[in-house]
Structures are given as structure tokens and as C-alpha cells.
Amino acid sequence: MSASGPVVLRLFIAGPGARSQRTVESVRRICETHLPGRHELEIVDIYQQPALAERDGVLAAPILLRVAPLPVRRIAGDLQDEGRVLRALDLAPAEEA
């Protein structure tokens, strides 16, 4: 991926449950591994900020949004499969970058 700017990600989780924790860890790991220093990650708890969920049209949780670069991409689920997450985000694995 030709990085013209930082990759902006926004992760919506529903409460502090085990699945939310798992998802947050997974996303953090992927970001640090494959996008070191060129990503912004925002984590939103939809219970705390329902207005943000509404703004971004979030239904499923957890869900990861790639806000930039456009177009917006959405990946629902607990994001344990690193390969699928990268493919879905249209990001090349770090080894190849």
C-alpha cells in the first residue's frame, strides 16, 4: 500500500466484556505489527457514546472501521483472524511492505 497518509481506524465495542477486550487486543496487535507509526486508532464504546455509533451507522459490535484512506471499510467480528482483517482493510502484511 502506498501510504499517502496515516491509516485512520475506529473500533466500536459494546461494553467491557471479554469479547471487547479480545477484539481491542487483536486490533492493537495488528496495527503495531503491520502499521507501525502510520496509523491512528480510536476505540469507541457504544454504550458510552451511542451518538457516535449512530453517526457512523454502526449496528454490529464489535466492528472496525477504516475511516481513511477512503472508501470506508467495515469489518465486523472479534477480528481474531489477522490475515482476513488485513485483506478486509486492504492492507498488505508488514513483511511485504
Partner 1 sequence: MPDAQPEPHAAPTLPKAPTGIDGFDAITQGGLPVGRPSLICGAAGCGKTLFATTFLVNGATRYGEPGVFVSFEERAEDLVANVASLGYDLDRLVADGKLAIDHVRVERSEIEETGEYDLEGLFIRLGYAVDSIGAKRVVLDTIETLFSGFTDPLLLRSELRRLFGWIKDRGLTAIITGERGEGQLTRQGLEEYVSDCVVLLDNRVADQITTRRLRVVKYRGSAHGTNEYPFLIDHAGISVLPVTSAELDYAVSDGVIASGIAGLDAMLGPGGFYRGSSILVSGESGTGKSMLAASFADAACRRGERCMAFVFEESGAQIVRNARSIGLGLQGHVEAGLLRFEAARPSLFGLEMHLARMHRDLDAFRPDVVVVDPVSALRGSTSELQATLLRMIDLLKARGITAVFTSLRTEGAVDPGDDLGVSSLMDAWIKLLNVEANGERSRTLYVIKARGMSHSHQVREFLMSGEGIRLVDAYIGPAGVLTGTARLAQEAQERAAMLRRRQDAERRSRDAVRRRQAIERQIAELREGLEAVADEERLLHDEDSLREAVLEEDRREMQARRVTAQGSASGAASGTAPGAPRGAAKRAAE
Name the minimum Å distance from CB 76 to partner 1: 4
Q: Do 88 and 72 meet the contact criterion of CB atoms below 8 Å apart?
A: no
What is the enclosing helix (H) or strand (E) of 67? strand 63-68
The contact pattern for partner 1, residues 19-48, with x = CB under 8 A and - = no contact, is: x---x----------------------xx-
Task: Using the rule CB under 8 A, give the single segment among 3-11, 28-36, 83-91 that binds partner 1.
Answer: 83-91
Residue 39 backbone dihedrals phi, psi, to 5 degrees: -145, 155
When binding is defined by CB under 8 A, the residue of 8, 43, 67, 88 that contacts partner 1 is 88
Pairwise CA distance, residues 37 & 83, whole Å = 20
Q: Which letter does DSSP use for residue 51 in this model?
A: H
Task: List contacts with partner 1 (CB under 8 A).
Answer: 12, 14-15, 19, 23, 46-47, 50-51, 53-54, 57-63, 73-81, 84-85, 88
